[in-house]
Amino acid sequence: MAEMTETAHGWLAPEELEAIRGRMPILYVDAVPVRVDESGAVTHVGLLLRIGPDGAVSRALVSGRVLYHERIRDALMRHLEKDLGPVALPKIPVSPQPFTVAEYFPTQDVTPYHDPRQHAVSLAYIVPVAGDCRPRQDALDLEWFTPAEAASMMVQQEMTGGQGVLLKQALAHVGRLT
């Protein structure tokens, strides 16, 4: 889960955020971008191609922190625009009910999710995107996978922190995990 630049009123300076981490669970959202056919069935899943601080290549979901006084659906919009560009036309779900909640723990194996920096609790949503996706910031590319490809060992191995598990949960939720 990539760190954001925070400059506006009410946001945290990096050193403040650092101090809070380790003391409180931090609220995140995870979004699984999908392409759907005219009947709403998921045909493809979009994954960001990232290069980590150690140079390792990985694939990731759209993910980020919820800010003070920010609604969850606004956080989803902000992170989707940040990662997919301004003309992706994401369709944020009508219901605040996430398809699951991913609890990223700083220690391994408490849950399937892991984030060495912090205890992050992430509300996970599936988001159809209809427009053009132009990754920005630290993502190199966005690549679309069929459900079968997304669940394959090859793609799963390129995902970190348990996001591969979260992706399989998303596929199961839309009836496309086989």
The angle formed by the CA atoms of residues 149, 155 and 157, to the nearest 5 degrees, is 150
Looking at residue 119, what DSSP letter applies? -
> Cβ closer to a second copy: 54 or 154?
154
Q: How many angstroms separate the CA atoms of 93 and 97, rounded?
A: 9
112 lies in the binding site for a second copy (CB under 8 A): yes
Supply the DSSP symbol for 20.
H
**69-98 positions binding a second copy, by CB under 8 A:** 69-74, 76-77, 91-98
Stretch that binds a second copy, among 46-54, 55-63, 121-129, 136-144 (CB under 8 A): 121-129
Q: How many Å separate Cα 96 from the centre of its chain?
A: 16
Q: Which of 57, 87, 101, 140 binds a second copy (CB under 8 A)?
A: 101
62 neighbors 78 (Cβ within 8 angstroms): no
Amino acid at 101: V
Give residues in contact with a second copy (CB under 8 A): 10, 12, 16, 20, 22-27, 34, 36, 38-42, 66-74, 76-77, 91-101, 103, 105-107, 110-112, 119, 121, 123, 126, 128, 165, 168-169, 172-175, 177-178
